A and B are shown apart, each in its own frame.
Chain A
């Protein structure tokens, strides 16, 4: 089997050595915050103050208070600092700053999205003029088709992100109610809980109602299509919000689908223009295209650093930041450029100083499959407890090609193909659809490039897209001498797999197959199954 060189951190970590001690079986949150030494504790404290200020400013707006008491999912946002604590376990120095810089920005972005939802919502703010300019999209929509619209005059709202996806990061039980609602109406329990919860929210009438129109995407699975159908029906028939189905080819590696996909983008743009009165502006598009390319270059640079012996930016914060930037932003907001730049500077600084996340790196790991690592602090736990470095995850392995960024007549036609390509190769779909090459071959190439000896395969119990490939993964990993560690879960339904049940699969693999002892025994069993 393949092995990698073990690296021992010559520097002792500042502050406490066993963060497992801060968990409590009597509480639904941690007993206290981690002591990280004076410098890093004070830094973490100032970021906590910043988060408190973001939440405080949000709740000062009267319509947001009204929305808070109207929507059940808003309860999750009481636990934003708790969510942040999950992504900083054991972190010091640059790693701590990287996690805060990226994830704090995501939190601010989600808070702004909730503010917009409540402003236009017919039940809360009811700002009709604002609502009539908004386009709502689903959680997994890539918003490339909005790159040429003014983001303030024609706002895009990914309505399901604050409602379901982000709220679940802070409170692991919050979608259970919506899953129950969906199942009461006959939707089977073996559907992916993410679109099922979204369908449940729609059935329960717990989505904000706003927008001149909506655009849905056939992403990323059968469950997503099912959920979109239920949501679109209510949007169109009850609330009179016209909904466009952006049908994107799934065999995205086949060149003959590109023209069709580009036509779909053109139609989506025409649909938005018709319903919002907004006008497509090529200057805005090419400015956004430049920013998309900058973000791509930064992501490639981060992956290069992660291919070295001293990876810097990984884990759930890496994945969530990419998700927000690549898919939810798509170059429209210049603020992301500053964050990209800062993150790269921090990562380069950490790389030069040979900073490590844990006291020892024993294995280099690629995280593949449909991942629940937002809900639990799994990837940071993996490196702290077992010294297994999660170099990157499937959702962060996205487009690396540059798109046309100069405004010429030829590039205007190319732009539609570029938007279509980005849309087809968006997060998750680029690996879960498109054949075994994107799911298997890409993985082995990545293992080679990043010098990984372990693949942690998330096995999502309700994901039909990946379960059929189990045997092929096993067979091909064996041929290549790569350890493959299967970790089952049910995404955002903790009743099927609890946090400890998920971690125990890694514990068992590391003890029985790898014959290793944990780096930090205080983390092997954590009493956080009942924690938010």
Chain B
């Protein structure tokens, strides 16, 4: 039982560590914002194609 619980704890710790490594890498190298710079031009095209009822 003790071994089983330790195994689970180890897996949780390893998963947590893995998650930390991945998210910290994304954070430190600004990968989140770099990805957004790729998405933004596509979105601009999307918005440009929308029809709007302009009125003054």
Return chain B residues, CB-CB under 8 Å to A185: 54, 56
Q: Is the CB of B52 within 8 A of A204?
A: yes
Is A267 in the interface zone, CB < 8 Å from B?
A: no
Contact of B23 among A35, A49, A238 (CB under 8 A): A49
B4 at the interface (CB under 8 A from A): no
User: How far does the Cβ of B43 sit from chain A's closest Cβ, in whole Å?
Assistant: 5
Indicate if A122 sits at the interface (CB-CB under 8 A).
no
> Contacts A32-B28, A203-B55, A205-B53 given; 16 further ones with Cβ under 8 A?
A27-B37, A28-B37, A28-B40, A29-B30, A29-B34, A35-B28, A41-B28, A45-B28, A72-B47, A78-B36, A78-B40, A79-B33, A82-B33, A233-B56, A532-B37, A532-B40
Interchain residue pairs with CB less than 8 A apart (16): A27-B34, A27-B37, A28-B37, A31-B30, A32-B30, A33-B30, A35-B28, A48-B27, A69-B46, A78-B40, A79-B33, A79-B36, A81-B32, A82-B36, A203-B54, A238-B55
Asked whether B24 lies within 8 Å of A230 as measured between CB atoms, the reply is no
A30 within 8 A of B: yes
Minimum distance in angstroms from A458 CB to a CB of chain B = 28
**Residues in B whose Cβ lies below 8 Å from that of A206:** 52
Question: Do A29 and B36 contact each other (CB < 8 Å), given the known contacts A185-B56, A203-B56, A205-B52?
Answer: yes
Assembled-state Cα–Cα distance A45/B32 (Å): 13
Q: How far is the CA of A185 from the CA of B46 in the complex (A)?
A: 23
Pick the contact of A75 from B29, B30, B40, B54 — CB < 8 Å?
B40
Nearest residue (CB) in B for A28 is B37
Chain A interface mostly: helix
Query: Taking each of B23, B29, B40, B46, which has the highest tally of chain A beta carbons within 10 Å of its own beta carbon?
Result: B40
Contacts of A532 on B, CB cut-off 8 Å?
37, 40
A62-85: CB near B (< 8 Å → 1, else 0) gives: 000000011010010011011000
Residues of A within 8 A of B44 (CB): 75
In the assembled complex, how far is the CB of residue B16 from the closest CB belonging to chain A, in whole angstroms?
Answer: 13
In the complex, A181 has a CB within 8 A of chain B:
yes
B47 touching A45, Cβ below 8 Å: no
| Complex Cα spacing A33 to B29, Å | 6
Decide if B6 is an interface residue (CB 8 Å cutoff). Answer: no
Instruction: Verify if B1 is at the interface (C-beta below 8 Å from A).
Output: no
B23's nearest neighbour on chain A, judged by CB, is A49
A234 interface hit (Cβ, 8 Å): yes
Contact B56 A230 (CB under 8 A): yes
What total of chain B residues lie within 8 Å of the partner, measured CB to CB?
Answer: 23
CB-nearest residue of chain A relative to B31?
A32
User: Is B39 close to A, CB under 8 A?
Assistant: yes
Specify which chain B residues have a CB less than 8 angstroms from the CB of A31 in the assembled complex.
Answer: 30
- Name the contact of B54 in the complex, choosing from A32, A72, A181 (C-beta under 8 A): A181
Write out, one digit per residue, whether chain A residues 21-38 have a CB within 8 A of any chain B CB (1) or not (0).
000000111111101000
Contact A33 B28 (CB under 8 A): yes
CB distance from A188 to the nearest CB of B (A): 14
Let me know if A78 and B30 touch, CB within 8 A: no
Q: A242 CA to B41 CA in the complex, in Å?
A: 38
Contact partners of B54 in chain A: CB under 8 A: 181, 185, 203-205
Chain B nearest CB: distance from A131 CB in Å?
A: 20
* Interchain CA distance A230-B56 in the complex, whole Å: 7
Contact B30 A30 (CB under 8 A): yes
Compute how far the CA of A79 lies from the CA of B32 in the bound complex, rounded to whole angstroms.
Answer: 9
Chain B minimum-CB-distance residue to A186 = B56
Q: Across the interface, which residues of B come within 8 angstroms of A230, CB to CB?
A: 56
Q: What separation, in Å, do the CA atoms of A35 and B36 have in the docked complex? A: 22
Q: Given the complex of chains A and B, what is the CA–CA distance between A103 and B30 in angstroms?
A: 19
Contact with B along A504-532 (1 / 0, CB 8 A): 00000000000000000000000000001
**Which residues from chain B contact A205 at a C-beta distance below 8 Å?**
52-55
In the complex, how many angstroms separate the beta carbon of A204 from the nearest chain B beta carbon? 5
Residue of B nearest to A70 (CB): B50
**Complex Cα spacing A78 to B39, Å:** 9
Q: List 4 tightest A-B contacts by C-beta distance, closest first.
A: A29-B33, A72-B47, A78-B36, A28-B37
Give bound CA distance, A79 to B43, whole Å. Answer: 13
| A-side contacts of B52, CB under 8 Å | 204-206
> Chain B contacts of A30 at CB under 8 A?
30, 33
Q: Please, how many angstroms separate the alpha-carbon atoms of A203 and B53 in the complex? A: 8
With A75-B44, A181-B54, A230-B56 already in contact, the answer to whether A45 and B34 are too (CB < 8 A) is no
* Residue of A with least CB distance to B29: A32
Give A305 Cβ to nearest chain B Cβ, in Å: 31
Q: State A272–B19 Cα separation when bound (angstroms).
A: 50
- Roughly how many angstroms separate A27 CA and B50 CA in the complex, as a whole number? 28
What distance in Å separates the Cβ of B50 from its nearest Cβ neighbour in chain A?
Answer: 8
A238 CA / B52 CA spacing, docked (Å) = 14
Residues of B within 8 A of A27 (CB): 34, 37
**Cα–Cα distance between A28 and B41 once the two chains are bound (Å):** 12
| Chain A nearest CB, measured from B38 CB (Å) | 10
Residue interface bits A119-155, CB-to-B below 8 A is 1, else 0 = 0000000000000000000000000000000000000
- Alpha-carbon gap, A82 to B27, bound state (A): 11
CA distance A41 to B46 in the complex (A): 37
Most-contacted residue by chain A among B28, B30, B40 (CB, 10 A): B30
